[in-house]
A and B are shown apart, each in its own frame.
Chain A
Amino acid sequence: MASEASGLVQGTLHMLILKTLTLEPLHGYGIGVRLEQISQGGFLVQAGSLFPALRRLERDSLIRGEWRVTENNRRAKYYHLTPQGRARLTRETRQWEAQMAAIARILAATREAL
C-alpha cells in the first residue's frame, strides 16, 4: 500500500532498486528492507510491486540474479548490478535530477519572479 500511497512511479522504483544494488548484491526481501531503511520508512515496497520490477530489470539485463546462501543458511536469489544497469542508473539519476530541479523551480516560482 505504501508504495501506492507514496505515488511511486514505475520507473522510479526501478531506479531506486538499481541504486540499492550499487552498494552490494541483495535478495528480494533485502531490497525492500534497504529501501525502507534508507528512506526512513518513507517507502514500503510490497512484494506485488517488487517482484515484477525485479523480473523486468532482469529481463532487460540491468540486473542479474544468483542463488546464494544467506547468513541464516537459507537459499536466496541475490541480485547484482550489471554494467548496463550501472550505466542506466547513472543516466536516469542525471535525468531525475534535472527533472527535480525543474519541478523545484516551478514550485518555488513566485508572481514577482515571472
Chain B
Amino acid sequence: MASLRRFVAGLKGLFRGKRLERELDEELQSYLESSVDMKVRSGMTPEDARRAARAELGSVEAVKDQTRDVGWETTIEPLWRDVRYAVRTLRKSPAFAAVVVVTLTLGIGANSAIFSAVNAIMLRALPAERPDELVSVTALYPDGTEPFSYTAYRRIASDGARLVDAIAASTSRRDALTIDGPPEAVDVKWVSGNYFTTLGVPTTVGRPLLISDDPQPPGMAVAVISDTFWARRFGRDPAVVGRTVRLSGAAFVIVGVARRGFASETPGETVDLWMPLSAQPNAPSWIWKGHSTTWLSILARRRQGVSLAQARAGLEPVYERVRDAVAADTDSADFRRSILASRLRVSEASTGVSRLRDNLVTPLMLLMGIVGLVLLVACANVANLMLTRAVTRRREMAMCLALGAGRSRLVRQGTLEALFLAAIGGAGGFLLAIWGTSALSSLLSGVLPVMLDISPDWRVLVFAGAISCATAVLFGFFPSLSATALDPLDVLKSGGGGRGASRIAFGRTLVTMQIAVSLVLLVAAGLFVRSLIRLKDVDLGFDPNQVMLFRVNPSAGQQPIPIEARRQLYRQVLERAMSMPGVDHASASFSGVLSSETWRNVITIEGLASPDGRTLRTFANVVTPEYFDVMRIRVLRGRAFTDDDRAQAANVAIVNDAFARQFFGGAVPIGKRVGLCSSESCGPSAARMMDIVGVVEDAKYSNLRQPAPPILYMPFAQVEQRLGEIQVRTAGDVSAVGSSLYRALADVDRRLTIVGMMTARDRVDASLATPNMVARLSSVFGLLALVLAAVGLSGLVAYMTTQRTQEIGIRIALGAGRREVRRLVLGNTLRPVALGAAVGIPAALALARLLSGLLYQVDPFDPVVLSLSLGILAAAALVAGYLPARRAVRVDPIKALRVE
C-alpha cells in the first residue's frame, strides 16, 4: 500500500517536476528568512544574520539534491531528461527525422506485412484445445506425401489408441445441399466421429459429432454446421438443430453448431458442414475396403504423458504393418516398390495441417528473406544518416566529453534517439502493414481461400516492435559507439569540423553493401518476372479466351440419376446453352480446365507388353463431342468424337500427343486398342477395350508448369462417369452473357446445381497467382531497396563533396573545368557502385541457383536479367551522383578557400 502510494507520488513528481522544484525553492527561501528573522531578534545585525543563516544552511543546491533524491523517480529522471533531449534535438532537424522515419516505416512495414501472411498461414495456432498435444501423421512416399485410405486410418486409430487419439478428415469439397428450396452450393467435410471431441471444439447449440455416429459404415446421417454457415443460412436460429437437409439423395439431420471462430483443422479451409466419414451416401464399397482410394489426412492428439518421440516410435510399426498388408495385396511391382519405400512422419501439428501451407511455405520464406534484406538496406541508410549527423555534432560531443559527460551517457543518448525514431517508424510500419496486408490478400486471392484472414494480430505487433528495437540497435547503438570514440582535445583544437575520414570509410562500406544487396534483389526480381512472362506465354494447347466455365453438381438432393437420364439431362443443358444468343458451342467434361480434380487410371494397351512389368497409367477425361471445338484443342490425326459415338456403337477413345509419344513412340496410334483397368494391372481381356480414333494436340492439364501428361479422352455417351464442368464458348464478350447463361442453365433442371462460374481466362490467371504475387512483390521490394540505396549513395557522395569543397575550390582556381570536377564527383559515386556490383554479382548468381526450382524455363544465370539489373543500378547511381556533381561544379573558388 505504502509502496503504491510512493509510486503514485513518484509519477506525480515526474509530471509535476517543475512545480515541486519551485515549491522547494520557495520553501528554502522562507527557511532562510525565518532563520534571519530569528537571528536578528536575538540581536544580530541584519547583514551578520544573513551571513550566518547562509552559512548554517550550507549549499542550497546540495539540500535540493538530497531532497530530490527522496523519490524513486530521480533514478529514472536522467533517462527521462535524455528522452526529452532526444525529442528536442530531433525537432531541431525535422528533415533528418522525417527521412529516417519514412525509411524505417517502409522497411518495417514491408516486413510486418509479409510476416502477417506468414503468421496467418504458418504460425497461428489451431483454434483447438491444447494445440501443442496435436501431431500430424502423414505417409511419406519417395515422390511426396499421400493421404491415407479409410482402412489405413482405422488400423492406425485402433492399433495406436494406446498412444494417441487419431482423427481423420477428408478435404472440404463443394457439394449441393437441399435445405428447403433449390439445391445450394456448400462446402462439406467428412470427418471421423471423434473430430470435435478430440480437437476440443465445443458446439454452441446441440451436440458435436460423436464416435457413435461413425461406426463401421453405414454411419449415422447427422451433420454439424459451422458458425458462419449458421449465421449465413439460418440467421443463427437455434431451431436449426433437428432440421433435415439432403445431400446426394440422402437425408442428414443437423445435430449441432460448432463454436464460433472454428473453421477447420486446416488453415484456410472453409467448411459449412461436417459429417461422419462412414455416413457418406452412395459411396462405392471399395472406399471402405482395401487401399485403392486414399483420401484422408490424419491428425492425432497425444495421450497424457506420451511424448512426441514415443508417439513416433509407437506409430511407426503400426504403419509398417498397414504398409505390408497393402504391398501384399497388390500385384503391381511398381506400386509395391513405392509403398514399401514409404514411411510414416509424425510431427508437431499445433498449427494444423495444410496443403496450402506446403504450397506457400517456399514463396513466403523467400519473400520474408527479401523484405529482411530491404530492411537491412533501410538500416544502412539510417546508420549513414546518423553517422553524418554525428560528424557534424562532433564539436558538441567533444564539448560534452570535455565537460565530463561519460561516453556511456552519450551512447545512451544516441541510442535513445534511435529508439525514439524506430518507435515512430515501427508504429508507422505496423499501420502500413495493416494497409499492406489488404493489398497482399488481393494479390493472394487466387491462392488463398477468402476465409483466411491475414490481417495483423498481436504477434505481428510484437514482431514489428522487436524489429524496431533491433534496427534501433543497428543504426543507433553502433554508430553512437563509433561517433563518441574521439579525443575531445583534438576535436576542439581543430575547430570542430574534423576530417570525418573514418566516417567516409564506414559510410562507403555501408553503401557498398546496400548496392550489393539491391543488385541481388533486382536480379531475383528480374528472374521472377521473366519466369512469370514465360508462364504467361506458355502454349496452353487450348484457347481460354471467350470461354465461360460452370462447375456443376448433377446429383443434388435426390436419388442419384440413372445414367441414361443423366445423359439426357446434359444433352438438354448443352442444347439450352447453345440456344442462347451469343453462344457458339457448349461442351461438358469430367475434369475441368486446369482443375485439381484429376482422374488417373491404370490402362492396358493391346499388343503392348508393359516394359519391365511396369503398370501403365494415364490421366483420363470424359468429354462430350463438342469439347475439342469449344476448347479449340486441335485434332492432329483421325477425328473428334461425334454424336454417333453412343452407347450402342463401337467403343472409341481419343488420345493426346503426349499419350501417343509415350506409349507408341510417336507412331500414329489410330486403330490401336486401349482399355481402362478396374484394378492394378489387367490384360486386354479383363478391360473394356476402346478403338483409338483420333489424336489431339497436347493441352495443359492441371498445372501450367508441367508439360501435358498423357491423356485418354472418352465420350460421355459411352462411359459411366459424372460430368463436373460445362464449357461454353461465346461469340462476343464472354462476361456479357455470363449471368444470363447462369440463369438459363440453372433453370433447365432442378436436379442440376451450378456451384461455380468463372471465365477460362480467369482460371488460367488464378493458376498463376503465386508466381504473379512473387514476381510483383519481389519487383516492388527490389525497387524499394534500389531507391533506398540510391538515397544512401547520394547522401554519401554529397557528404564527400562537402568535405572536399576546399579541394574542389583550389582545383577550380587552378583552372580545372566543369568536366574535371564532375568527373571527380562521379568517380566518387561510381567507386562504391562498382565495388558493390563486384560483391553483388557473385552473390546474385549464388542466390539465383537456389531459386532455380521456383523458376519456369528461365536460366538462373539469364544474361538479360543480369545486364538489365546492372543497367538499372548504374542508371540509379548516375541519378544519385548527379545532384552532388552539379553542386560541386558550382563551387565558388573564392568562397571555398575563405572557409577556414
Contact = CB atoms under 8 A, between A and B. Distances in A.
B819 to A, nearest CB: 73
B487 interface: no
A86 to B, nearest CB: 16
A51 B38 contact: no
B34 A47 contact: no
Given A46-B58, A48-B63, A59-B71, A27 B34 contact: yes
B62 A48 contact: yes
A27 B30 contact: yes
Interface stretch (A16-24, A70-78, A89-97, A104-112): A70-78
A52 B5 contact: no
A69 to B, nearest CB: 11
Contacts of B31: 27-29, 47
A33 interface: yes
B34 A74 contact: yes
A61 B58 contact: no
Given A47-B31, A59-B6, A77-B27, A52 B67 contact: yes
A76 B30 contact: yes
Contact of A51 (B5, B27, B35, B37): B27
Interface residues of B, number: 27
A47 B54 CA distance: 11
B34 A76 contact: yes
A55 B37 contact: no
Most buried by A among B9, B27, B35: B27
A27 B67 CA distance: 16
B70 A56 contact: yes
A41 interface: no
Interface in B753-781: none
A27 B28 CA distance: 11
Interface in B44-72: 56-58, 62-64, 66-67, 69-71
A51 to B, nearest CB: 4
Given A47-B57, A52-B66, A55-B70, A77 B23 contact: yes
B714 to A, nearest CB: 92
B129 to A, nearest CB: 49
Nearest to B37: A72
Contacts of A29: 30-31, 34-35, 38
A76 B31 CA distance: 8
B24 interface: yes
Max count, chain B CB within 10 A of own CB: residue among A30, A47, A48: A47
B33 interface: yes
Contacts of A4: none
B26 interface: yes
Given A28-B27, A77-B23, A55 B34 contact: no
A60 B2 contact: yes
Contacts of B5: 59-61
Contacts of A30: 34
A33 B6 CA distance: 29
Contacts of B6: 59-60
Nearest to A76: B30
Nearest to B12: A59
Given A52-B70, A56-B70, A59-B6, A47 B30 contact: no
B338 to A, nearest CB: 79
Interface size class on chain A is 20 to 34
Contacts of A33: 38
B792 to A, nearest CB: 51
A33 B29 CA distance: 16
Nearest to A57: B70
Given A59-B6, A61-B5, A51 B24 contact: yes
Nearest to A55: B70
Contacts of A52: 66-67, 69-70
Contacts of B69: 52
Nearest to A29: B34
A52 B70 CA distance: 6
Nearest to A31: B31
Contact of B63 (A27, A51, A59, A75): A51
B246 to A, nearest CB: 75
Interface in B229-250: none
Contact of B28 (A51, A56, A60, A72): A51
Interface string B112-137: 00000000000000000000000000
Interface in A29-68: 29-30, 33, 46-48, 51-52, 54-56, 59-61
B63 A47 contact: yes
A108 to B, nearest CB: 36
Contacts of B27: 27-28, 51, 76-77
B719 to A, nearest CB: 91
A59 B2 CA distance: 9
Contacts of A76: 27, 30, 34
Most buried by A among B26, B62, B67: B67
Contacts of A54: 67
Nearest to B58: A48
Nearest to A51: B67
Given A52-B69, A61-B5, A70 B34 contact: yes
Residue of B37, B56, B69, B70 most packed against chain A (CB within 10 A): B70
Contacts of B62: 48
Contacts of B63: 47-48, 51
Contacts of B71: 55, 59
Contacts of A48: 58, 62-63, 66
Contacts of B66: 48, 51-52
Interface in B1-25: 2, 5-6, 9, 23-24
B34 A77 contact: no
Nearest to B23: A77
Given A47-B57, A51-B24, A72-B37, 10 more contacts: A27-B31, A28-B27, A28-B30, A29-B31, A47-B28, A47-B31, A59-B5, A70-B30, A72-B33, A75-B30
Interface of A: 27-30, 33, 46-48, 51-52, 54-56, 59-61, 70, 72, 74-77
Top 6 A-B pairs ranked by shortest CB distance?
A29-B34, A76-B30, A51-B67, A55-B70, A59-B9, A29-B31
Interface of B: 2, 5-6, 9, 23-24, 26-28, 30-31, 33-35, 37-38, 56-58, 62-64, 66-67, 69-71
15 contacts: A27-B34, A28-B34, A30-B34, A47-B31, A48-B62, A51-B27, A51-B28, A51-B63, A52-B67, A52-B70, A55-B70, A59-B5, A59-B70, A60-B6, A72-B34
